[in-house]
Structure 1
Amino acid sequence: MPVHRPRTARTRTARSGHSAAGVLLAVLSALALLVALPGAAQSADGDDIPPRGSARMGQGVIEHDGQGGRPSGGDAAQTEGVDVSSHQGNVNWSALWNSGVRWAYVKATESTSYRNPYFAQQYNGSYNIGMIRGAYHFATPDTSSGAAQANYFVDNGGGWSRDGKTLPGALDIEWNPYGAACFGKSQSAMVSWIQDFLNTYRARTGRDAVIYTATTWWKQCTGNYGGFGSAHPLWIARYNTSPGELPAGWGFHTMWQYTSSGPIVGDHNKFNGAYDRVQALANG
């Protein structure tokens, strides 16, 4: 005959232990899921890190350089332009054209893994409305070589053709939104990475790429290197009443991004010259 023993304290404790372990496991699983959600990551200082691919031109300019006034005018002829990315979605190009915008840059790629899902609407739409347009690449020098990213850019919309309506590709090299400002590179290593990108882009397209940057970043992350100014047009980012101090090697800027809050959509820019100078850059 089986002997029925009453539950002992040890039995109750063991079962309670199993219950506690289950609760702990559930909590840990929930925390792991939260960390895995897009945009849930945090940097070492606790700031939210955006999902890869979401970076856009000028993203770090306000944080590092501040948002100032609009251009103060002047007598020199300038031509209005915009730059857009997936953040703008499908763009109303007619409205921009009617407001006086005559050229545009569209984000094509980032690293070697991201393509702007709105690229066709934005790149072709600006062209079809009559604008001179080009494509830009958001550089992430910590993920792959300059050559690899230049090739990816050209293969996914960053090319150039002598049609009078296509600007040379632009390299967007600025603060890293995903981590260390200089992408973990020394100043000399950063210069080498940029040179690798530029050399590859020229070999693929026959054109010298435009360099988009901010003077403060350029000083911090390249040591204010002055070797690119003779061949590569400068697109300076400064949200203020003037372009301000330029990086070493450039005696003048070709384009100036002066605000991230355009009257219609996108970041707004001034080309340093009349419309025929925009055409000249497109024609090479």
Structure 2
Amino acid sequence: MSHGDLSVVHETGSARTRLALLAGLFVTLLALALAVPGTANAAPTAGRNHVTHPELDWMGSTVPAHEGSGHSGPGTVTPMVTQTSGMDVSGYQGNVNWSAAWSNGGRFAYVKATESTTYTNPYFAQQYNGSYNVGMIRGSYHFATPDTSGGATQADYFIAHGGGWSADGKTLPGALDIEYNPYGATCYGLSQSGMVNWIHAFANEYHAREGVYPVIYSTFDWWNTCTGNNGGFATTSPIWIAKYSSSAGTLPAGYGYYTFWQYADSGVFPGDQDYFNGDYSRLQALALG
């Protein structure tokens, strides 16, 4: 091979080296771009599941710190129409004496099933099946953390871990527990429109999968602050209002009445004290969808 031939080989090898270096640089820059928050392909909530004490998060666990607590004995609250008494429980209550709760007048129970996409209530089977076995109409609920994953994703997780519904007359539609953030910013870092979109995503996915819309649990103060008192759910989802007082108070926009009212965080029943706004036959109708 001549000296000229060697020059050609050298120049060709150098070109290939430069191309390899440029290709490597392009891959590195692309990876950095995708890692920047807010880029089109970034996952803004990935890796941010900071749920560290789900056993201490239950329906209303954040309410006393923001709005005060309330204890109620039998007869303390006197609504305008016939109410059906019930309760909501979570893993915090452990194994529940359901026979005693039934004897004290409890006719329905909601049981925490899940939180985010990482937690399931270890006492769920005892609570969900136990309430059913003594004759109660029961349902399950999901404690929402809108800053850890999307609404549809959390609805799917809820359904897969006890949140499903069936038209057997003994199973209430699943409930979305959306309240003050126990881990930080009240509205989970979302704008009001962002929060509304998240709740719609959860509710629509639940409806698409189960055939009914979920009950929405919240307080008026949180709803007003974090959704701008959005009225877009009143025609689909029953409202479960939390208000530890002698009346349910102001309801979110669009709702002329509540379906459930959590009126105290302690009392004759285990967990929180609740009313269904109607007699037992109407509760059965809700269970039938």
Q: TM-score, normalising length from structure 2? A: 0.79
Task: Give, in whole Å, the separation in 1 of the partners of 2:269 and 2:176.
Answer: 25
Match of 2:8 in 1: none
* Equivalent pair of 2:55/2:91 in contact (CA under 8 Å): no
Task: Give, in whole Å, the separation in 2 of the partners of 1:219 and 1:86.
Answer: 29
1:203 lines up with 2:208 in the alignment: yes
Number of residue pairs the alignment of both structures matches: 236
**Deviations 1:85-133 (Å, cap 9, x if unpaired)?**
0000000000000000000000000000000000000000000000000
Match of 1:261 in 2: 266
Residue aligned with 2:187, SS = coil
State the superposition RMSD in angstroms: 1.3
The 5-angstrom pairing of residues 56-205 of structure 1 reads: 56-68=58-70, 70=72, 71-205=76-210
Report the CA distance between 1:75 and its aligned residue: 4.6
Match of 2:226 in 1: 221
* Equivalent pair of 2:106/2:269 in contact (CA under 8 Å): no
Q: Partner letter of residue 166 of structure 2?
A: S
Task: Give, in whole Å, the separation in 1 of the partners of 2:125 and 2:143.
Answer: 17
Distance 1:74 1:228, change over 3 A: closer
| Same amino acid, percent of matched pairs | 61
In structure 2, stretches of 5+ residues that fail to align are 1-50
1:54 lines up with 2:68 in the alignment: no
Task: Give, in whole Å, the separation in 1 of the partners of 2:177 and 2:285.
Answer: 22
Q: Partner letter of residue 260 of structure 1?
A: D
Report the CA distance between 1:53 and its aligned residue: 4.8
**Deviations 1:227-277 (Å, cap 9, x if unpaired)?**
000111000000010000001121110000001112241101011000001
Task: Give, in whole Å, the separation in 1 of the partners of 2:80 and 2:149.
Answer: 44
**Deviations 1:217-236 (Å, cap 9, x if unpaired)?**
00000010010001110000
Query: Is 72-81 or 61-70 further displaced after alignment?
Result: 61-70
Residue aligned with 2:56, SS = coil
Q: Partner letter of residue 261 of structure 1?
A: S
Q: TM-score, normalising length from structure 1? A: 0.81
Task: Give, in whole Å, the separation in 1 of the partners of 2:79 and 2:199.
Answer: 34
Task: Give, in whole Å, the separation in 2 of the partners of 1:52 and 1:65.
Answer: 21
